[in-house]
Structure 1
């Protein structure tokens, strides 16, 4: 039976659950570097601490074919959220660098599972001709909560404590768990029901999308990990507004991007958004006032809100239903590898070039990114 609408009970609950999970993730983005700094960690150590989640998520997704053959998506999502929850409980209880990294790796197990199966569960509810638009709206749920996350997170830390912050994260994760428990069995064919003939963990047809999302991950890791500390060093107070306007810009752009993708493919979206991303990196490097920081957030938010869902929809469009879990795992692994390596390498760069120099390096990477995006999307036929 052909679906005519994707606004089903399952799709809405999955959207909400994913949004709540990513609210916690985006609350931790500006706070964990400050948490690490308070504990006395160096910039390089902060990079390892923050980036460790991505390496664990990457390794976890290598087992996606096995997971999909053994468990339903609902069971996997519940397990992943519980992993996230237990890690969040442990953060305020551990103070040494080594233990924090181990805990962050454990957090990455839950992150790897949830990000894979939230996306594929949502895609299972979408008609093929609405993949771009549907995933755009799916992403809006993430962006809406992400817009509130920095404001809420930094306010809690400033007015109360880091412990209160982590308690808030725990409460939100409980709500995410309840939404998934409320879903029913999907009417779409479940790839997990076909444990044989699984697709390989690596598939060459996804190299263009994975290459682009890897570089995006490197760029995003620099912004999310080091902008809060850089702004603090510049005596700026609008870092929460930077993330807020970035998220709002991402919310506004996603439906437009989704429709453009469904009608024209990824090329035009990638051209415009990679240019905006590069401009945003230059602006962050040059920040000298709160208003400039906020404007940079708009450029960053539009680019992030356009590039990631476009590449994700591109993957879903060219893969088969049976291989969707594996394709998603490869795509997300590429992003998280970029995020993880980016946080570590850029942490080292900060120690040699300072924060401004590191952001100028990211701007140069952005220039290369424009050309690569145009080249890889040159002959796309959807």
Structure 2
């Protein structure tokens, strides 16, 4: 590996990002249980847990202003601090309004960190290695995401919620130390009096594709566990574990292919695999079919997202990179959020199997969209 690739800064940013996403994915299955223990209604639990998405979406709209006023390192530390304050506050407060307020603080931190971890990592990579580098950057996220629910639920089961939040605080402190260990980049950006735009049309193809991916992923993550249970299958944890492993394995291959061939070939193959995975989920009747679907789903997810992200970084300028990242992440989060709501309505109309056949049809259309929008890119 080239020294400029695996630099001190890049490794510490990768580690810090992985640790922060560890906390995020630990909280996903635990906070609804915590809200239930406090006596919140299902509707209140939904607002409490979902407030982070609203706050992060709004925060990213101000990314150009933040970038013009503060350093990326300072913004990352500020975002981690907001995450930390929320983790400390959750076990100390029990009122619904106060909990939602903490979750909004958490969302501010989430919006800042997800944006500036990605752009900071990209800034450390040479342009000819952007795909491979961001592929490895995403591996840390996927590994911790696969381990986080198991760790979180185990801690809550054996030691309780206070121990869980204490663990979150410890992990966040480690993430902050990683960022404190980074050095200022060798190349100092040229400051300008004009902030980058909040919205840039040149990133609409990538944002559109990642929005649809978010809708598809929300359907799988939200409804596959329920559907598998209705089919009397017990392999759902294996499904997500295998999907995570497949995503980790494929990312370096995808990154190198992107650097040499561009996004088009990867998007063609991965969207086809995604369609096969959706069809397999629709017809699952045995655990081995569910596990096989996990392989296809994991490879597709592990290929499409980093390819679209690397494509954005490839076509943007350093001055516009924060805007591009904010748009990209907002599009994905919006797809995830709206997808769960819209697909819940589809389930009410055509049941779970019908909903997965709808996702299969959307995936077929997605193949054509991905090929059409990436035509000029390679």
If the length of structure 2 is used for normalisation, what is the TM-score?
0.89
Relative CO higher for 1 or 2, CA cutoff 8 Å, sep ≥ 6? Answer: 1
Change (3 A) 1:48 1:40: closer
C-alpha contact 2:347 2:355 (8 A) present in aligned 1: yes
C-alpha contact 1:278 1:367 (8 A) present in aligned 2: yes
What aligned pairs does 1:211-222 form with structure 2 within 5 A after superposition?
Answer: 211-222=208-219
* Residue deviations 1:266-288 (CA, integer Å, cap 9, x gap): 01111111122222233334444
C-alpha contact 1:91 1:100 (8 A) present in aligned 2: yes
Structure-2 residue corresponding to 1:131: 130
Residue 69 (1) aligns with residue 68 (2): yes
Ranges in structure 2 where 5+ consecutive residues have no aligned partner? none
C-alpha contact 2:280 2:293 (8 A) present in aligned 1: yes
Bigger shift: 231-240 or 164-173? Answer: 231-240
Question: Aligned-pair distance for 1:66?
Answer: 0.7
- Structure-2 separation of matches of 1:79 and 1:100: 20
Bigger shift: 358-367 or 199-208? Answer: 358-367
C-alpha contact 1:146 1:244 (8 A) present in aligned 2: no
C-alpha contact 2:64 2:196 (8 A) present in aligned 1: yes
What aligned pairs does 1:193-204 form with structure 2 within 5 A after superposition?
Answer: 194-204=191-201
**The one of 248, 253, 257 aligned to 2:245:** 248
* Residue deviations 1:97-123 (CA, integer Å, cap 9, x gap): 666554433322111100110011111
CA RMSD of aligned residues (A): 2.7
Structure-2 residue corresponding to 1:360: 357
Question: Aligned-pair distance for 1:35?
Answer: 5.6
* SS of alignment partner, residue 322 of structure 1: helix
**The one of 220, 226, 230 aligned to 1:223:** 220
Residue 19 (1) aligns with residue 18 (2): yes
Structure-1 residue corresponding to 2:306: 309
* Residue deviations 1:338-371 (CA, integer Å, cap 9, x gap): 1222233334444555544443333332222122
What aligned pairs does 1:170-209 form with structure 2 within 5 A after superposition?
Answer: 170-190=169-189, 194-209=191-206
What aligned pairs does 1:1-382 form with structure 2 within 5 A after superposition?
Answer: 5-32=4-31, 42=42, 50-92=49-91, 101-190=100-189, 194-232=191-229, 236-351=233-348, 353-381=350-378
Question: Aligned-pair distance for 1:181?
Answer: 1.4
Bigger shift: 113-122 or 172-181? Answer: 172-181
Between the two proteins, the alignment pairs up a number of residues equal to 376
If the length of structure 1 is used for normalisation, what is the TM-score?
0.88
C-alpha contact 1:29 1:225 (8 A) present in aligned 2: no
Ranges in structure 1 where 5+ consecutive residues have no aligned partner? none
